[in-house]
Amino acid sequence: MSETLRLFIAIEVPANLKAAFRQYQPAFTHAAVRFLPDENLHLTVHFMGEVPTGQLTEIEQRLKEVAATQMPFNLTLHCLEPGPKPKSPRLIWARFGPEPAFARLGAAVFRQLGIRPPDHADSIPHVTLARFRKDMPRPISLSVIYPPEPPLTMPVTTVALWQSELKSPHPVYRVLAEFPLSPAEKLNPPE
């Protein structure tokens, strides 16, 4: 049996957004809510799962090729809320508004890696901030928070390949490789 790595493709959350998310934690305080450590905050593009280590170099090359075809963009924070299903939430997430560039990045990743795209719910750009403990009753009514104006934005200038090691109480995540998105002038050189 070959050795595997638990991998996912994600966007790193900048420090200023991590600090903003921390400010809103008191609104979600409940015994069943377990906040993720700041170092684990990320915005998933695609969770790959267990992948043979022999495929790592090829995956990195394909992600480099994807990044070279995508321009940097911004995501705008919509709200912090229980989700993904409002009537039966299992986590607290920071949900960003729809962004065509994020959808294009995801589509390019799926196409380049030969992966079937996920259903609609998985394509909502979000950062998981907390999970509900399975051994406790879920909170019944938690707030939805709409951050004040001006809206908070998350610049997306790179995409990264991450490794997840399952540990207790939280998994340990680390970036294996990061790939800068191409500036517009590289994709559309002047004539």
Enumerate the active-site residues: 42, 126
Burial 157-179 (b: 16+ CB within 10 A, else e): bebbbbbbeeeeeeeebeeebeb
> Which residue shows structure tokens 């104006």?
149
Two tokens, residue 21: 């998310």
Find the radius of gyration of the CA atoms of the chain.
17
38 DSSP 8-state letter: G
CB 99 within 8 A of CB 105: no
CB 6 within 8 A of CB 163: yes
* Residues 6+ positions from 181 with CB-CB distance below 8 Å: 67, 70, 71, 72, 73, 105, 156, 157, 158, 159
